Structure 1
C-alpha cells in the first residue's frame, strides 16, 4: 500500500500545478452585447498582448446556441482577476455578468507545429 501512496505523491509532484483564474460570462441583456462587442475585442486583445490572457472565447451549447463566454486570466490573485473582468466592455455595458473561479492546471498537452520552410504553424 505504501508503494502506491509514494508513487501517487511522485506523480502529483510532477504535475504543472499552475493556477489561472477563469471568468465565466453569462448573458444578462442580449440587446447590449452587439453594441459592446468591438470594444470587448479591443479590450481582450490588449490584455492578450500584455500576456494577461491564457485563452478566451464564446461558449455554446450542444446545438451551437450561444451559452456565454469564458476567459482564462493570468492573474496574481482572485481580486486581480475580478478587477480585469470588471473592465470588460460586455460587463460595463450590462450585457453580461460574470463569476471568477480559480483553476489549477495539472495535466494536459499543448501541441505547436512550426514548418520553417513556409513559416506556417498550427496549434492543436
Structure 2
C-alpha cells in the first residue's frame, strides 16, 4: 500500500471504540544459543513489567506453519510514547545482551474482547 493516512484521522474514524494506544515490539533473534542464555533474566524482566502493569502481552512467535520456534518474540507495552516504549525494550535482557534486536510500532487497539478470570484461592490467572 503506497498511500498513507494521518494517525489522527484513523483515531477520529474509530468512533466509540476503546482506542487504547499500545506499542508492539517485534523482537528478532540473533542466535538461539544467546537466547537460551538470557531466557531466565528475560522472563524475570517480563514479570516485573507485568507487576508494574506495563506489559499487555508477550510470547514467542512460531513459524508460519506453527511447527517451529526460531527465537523471535512479540511484546505489547502500555506506554505514554514511542520513546518510553523504546526505553522499556532497551532494558530487556534479550536486547541488552544482543540476543535479539527489536522494532517498535504504535498500535491503536480498537476491537476485540478480553475476559479475565481470577481464582482468589489460587495464585493463578486465566484468559478465556
Distance 1:51 1:27, change over 3 A: same
Q: Does 2:74 match 1:70?
A: yes
Q: Does 2:103 match 1:99?
A: yes
Consecutive unaligned residues of structure 1, counting only runs of 5 or more, are 1-10
Structure 2 match to 1:56 = 58
TM-score (structure 2 length as normaliser): 0.79
Consecutive unaligned residues of structure 2, counting only runs of 5 or more, are 1-12
Q: Does 2:23 match 1:21?
A: yes
- The runs of 4+ residues in structure 1 deviating greater than 3 Å are 113-116, 118-122
Distance 1:121 1:20, change over 3 A: closer
Distance 1:115 1:96, change over 3 A: closer
| Structure 1 or 2: more helix by fraction | 1
Larger Rg: 1
The total of aligned residue pairs comes to 114
